[in-house]
Structures are given as C-alpha cells and as structure tokens.
A and B are shown apart, each in its own frame.
Chain A
Amino acid sequence: MLEAALEHLVRGIVDHPEDVRVDLRTGRRGRTLEVRVHPDDLGKVIGRGGRTARALRTVMAGVGGKGVRVDVVDVDRV
C-alpha cells in the first residue's frame, strides 16, 4: 500500500511517469521506500532545497508510513 501511494504521488508530478519505480526494503535501519525516476525528473522529485522530497516524506508519514524512510535514488550514481 505504501509503495502504491508513493508511486502515485510521484507519477503525478513528473514528465516520465512510466519510469517511476518504488521499492520497499527492510534493512538494519528499518524500512525504506526507494524511489527511482527518469534522470530528467530527479530535480522535480527533489525540488528546490529538497522541498518536494520533504513534502513526499511528510505525506507518506501521514498515510501510515510513520518511521519509514523515503529515499530518492540517484540512478546515475548507482
């Protein structure tokens, strides 16, 4: 449910919605929602000063994802 919610929120604000992927991973630091987008959309998902990424985290915490990290994965770097 959390993956689907985040996927929907991100798809609505990018140029390449078909390239949006969200995975929920569990690691030592707890659960993390990993967001992957088209490289051209990275700026849109992060926003000025990280504003949009912060908004995504806040909303995800509100819909049942409290304590779940949200990471925007920079595909170029991986």
Chain B
Amino acid sequence: MTGSASDVAVDSEVVIQEAPGNRLQELEQEGEIAADYLEALLDIVDMDGDLDLDVEGQRAVVAVVGTGLDGLVGHRGETLEALQELTRLAVLQKTGARSRLMLDVGGHRARRRAELTTLATEVSERVLDGGQPESLTTMTPFERKVVHDTVAAIDGVHSESEGEEPSRYVVVLPD
C-alpha cells in the first residue's frame, strides 16, 4: 500500500513539473512547422522576409519581417488573415491539433493595434460625453479584440460585436 501511494505521488509530481514544459515545446514546434510552410512560400514567390518565432502566453507567434511584403498583408490585413488560416491548417495537418498561432507580416498587427487603441479610446470618450452608442466599421476578429480590450479598460463604457462575418463590427455603449 505504501509503495503504491508513493508511486502516485511521484506520478503527479512529474505531471505538474512537465506539463508547462511540454506545452511550450508544442508551441515552439507549431512555430517551426509554420515557419517551414511560410519560408517555402516566400521562396517560390520570390519575396524576401525573415521569420521571427516566439511564444506569447498560450500561443505561438510567427512574424515575417521585411519590406516588400504588402501583397501578403492585403487590404486591411485580409490576405494576412487568410495566410494565417492556411498556416494554422498546415500546423493542424502535421500535429493533429488545432493551432491558435498568430501570424504577423511586415509589422502590420503592431501598427494596427496602435491605430485601433487610439480609435477605441476616442470613441469611448465620445460615448461617455454623449451617452449614445457608437458603431465602428467592419473589422477582423483580431481588430475587434483590440477594440474590446481597449474599451474594457475604460470605466463607464462597454463594447459588443454585431453582424455576421465578414461584416462583423464593434459597438461601443455607455454602461
């Protein structure tokens, strides 16, 4: 009896110690599969870009860095979203597990995040002053999340998404 009890203790200890490390390894592997997929594409279409791999929170982050990459970003990042979707599928194909990896190209997401944070702050101030809800233009899921996160940090207003993809948009409302 004592023997089996200590076996259990050892097992759970191992699980607790190894789980985060395994998860990190999985996310790093996701990034590497994604990088292979993207590098081969860049090579074929003759675009120059370096790949930066990172893990932020619970997701792999893959960034294609360089100039002349606008074609891969597209109008308001729609090509970037499409490429992210295909890259996630390529990871799923290799690992058998769904990926939430985030792709950035040419610093687009960082730029958009800054613009949208400013916009969401301005809109929130107008809603606080006027007491009337305000709808924003159609946005991608990434863009909406930036707006929701910004509005959530401001007292007296909240936000909701309305409409169906790909025409979903955010509404900022007074509390």
Contact = CB atoms under 8 A, between A and B. Distances in A.
B74 A58 contact: yes
Interface in B40-64: 40-41, 44-47
Interface in B55-99: 71-74, 78-79, 82-83, 85-86, 89-90, 92-93
A64 B40 CA distance: 16
Contacts of B142: none
B93 A14 contact: yes
Interface residues of A, number: 21
Contacts of B46: 1
Nearest to A14: B93
A51 B47 CA distance: 25
**Which of A5, A14, A54 has the most B CB atoms < 10 Å from its CB?**
A5
Contact of B85 (A12, A44, A55, A62): A55
Residue of B46, B72, B93 ringed by the most chain A CB atoms within 10 A = B93
B45 A1 contact: yes
> Contact size class for B?
20 to 34
Contacts of B41: 5, 8-9, 63
B79 A58 contact: yes
B86 A63 contact: no
Interface in A55-70: 55-56, 58-59, 61-64
Contacts of B73: 62
A15 B79 CA distance: 25
Interface in A1-21: 1, 4-5, 8-9, 12-15
Nearest to A3: B44
B89 A62 contact: no
B72 to A, nearest CB: 5
14 contacts: A1-B44, A1-B45, A4-B44, A8-B40, A15-B93, A52-B85, A52-B89, A55-B86, A58-B79, A58-B82, A59-B82, A62-B72, A62-B83, A63-B41
Given A13-B86, A59-B86, A63-B45, 16 more contacts: A1-B44, A8-B40, A8-B44, A15-B93, A52-B85, A54-B82, A55-B82, A56-B82, A56-B86, A58-B78, A61-B74, A61-B79, A62-B71, A63-B47, A63-B72, A64-B71
